[in-house]
Amino acid sequence: MKWAQSITVTLRTIRTLSTVVTCHARHRRMLVRFAGLGLGAATLTTVAAASGNSNVDVLTSSPDVSSFMAEPVTPLSTLVKDKDDMKVKMEMLIMKIQADFCRALENEEDPSKKFIVDRWTRAEGGGGVTCVIQNGKTFEKAGVNVSVVHGILPVDAVRQMKARGKELIGKELPFFAAGISSVIHPSNPHVPTVHFNYRYFEVTQENGEKMWWFGGGTDLTPYYLVEEDVRHFHSTLKNACDQHDAGYYPKFKKWCDEYFLVSHRNECRGVGGIFFDDFEMHSQEDCFKFVKSCAESVIPSYVPLVKKHRNDPYTSAERDWQLLRRGRYVEFNLVYDRGTKFGLYTPGARIESILMSLPVYAKWEYMHSPSDGTPEAKLTEILKNPKEWI
């Protein structure tokens, strides 16, 4: 007689326990011993086929999630069962990118300061993992958010997508969205702010047709312009793009300059990077590989700049300038940013995670303008007239 039994172990259990599972069959006893050390998985599914003779035991483990900042949003059994589904592949990617980036940032922070990890769920479907450092020595606020949500796309969100050219059939549509979004606000004015966001979206229309696309980008917002740093940043992104198509970087660099324009100020938010949306021009797998390359370029593009400048001396006047520039950052995020708008339109929106991108401190002064010939004026000129860096 054949039998099968599944054993699921939580991430916390598998990290702390050495578990002995004894399985009985009619003519056979099987002992499976496993420990968190070296197993590197949050779920272990054991399927044993047994009869009167000695059949082969089959041992299948789930994807390695032990290094993630928290357990994935999707049940681990689903991650195993649907491992080839793009929804699962995207969630696994963004969970890994989150963990890698958080640990890279922690390495630049005071050893006593670690990310607060907040795993949350959404009543309407899905949830996320928000990781935040606040008031650290290196980072005044660093947020890295993963969200994996599903449900019914509300009318306002459908209308917003149609306004940018999406041909969606229906008013309230089933959707799935998985993405990672991060904004890093450093303490030192000589360390730039960085933002990145990579996402995957599916919508099922009233006629049953499923639409999918990717979007994302990485961009840099310095407070003081160091051209060598900006060239390094752009070169790293270009190398990631060039692995897939030499035309991507110039196209997405231009798109970034246009997207992050603070129109009412007639200046860009920063010195750009790459930005793309509605990315579906190739196979789903090819698009995913491109997004993966871009996401993996964040650490090498940004962390060297943190290492280089985090201990630079600065004045109170330079700190004031940093706070004024952060005010412009806030203006863009609240007035123009698509991600913020989509989040606020989504039922069950988690406001703390959506507004995670905002700094702890910012400043506005009436009719402020930097003096000619100053480093502040030099940056302002670049923001008003974007240039090619490489």
Is 195 known to be catalytic?
yes
Q: Which of 185, 195, 232, 234 is catalytic?
A: 195
**Can you give the chain as a three-state secondary structure string?**
CCCCCCCCCCHHHHHHCEEEEEEECCCCEEEEEEECCCCCCCCEEEECCCCCCCCCCEEEECCCCCCCCCCCCCCHHHHHHCCCCHHHHHHHHHHHHHHHHHHHHHCCCCCCCCCEEEEEECCCCEEEEEEEEECCCCEEEEEEEEEEEEEEECHHHHHHHHHCCCCCCCCCEEEEEEEEEEEEEECCCCCCEEEEEEEEEEEECCCCCEEEEEEEEEEEECCCCCHHHHHHHHHHHHHHHHCCCCCHHHHHHHHHHHHCEEHHHCEECCCEEEEEEEECCCCHHHHHHHHHHHHHCHHHHHHHHHHHHCCCCCCHHHHHHHHHHHHHHHHHHHHCCHHHHHHHHCCCCCHHHHHHHCCCCCCCCCCCCCCCCCHHHHHHHHHHCCCCCC
Show which residues are catalytic. Answer: 195
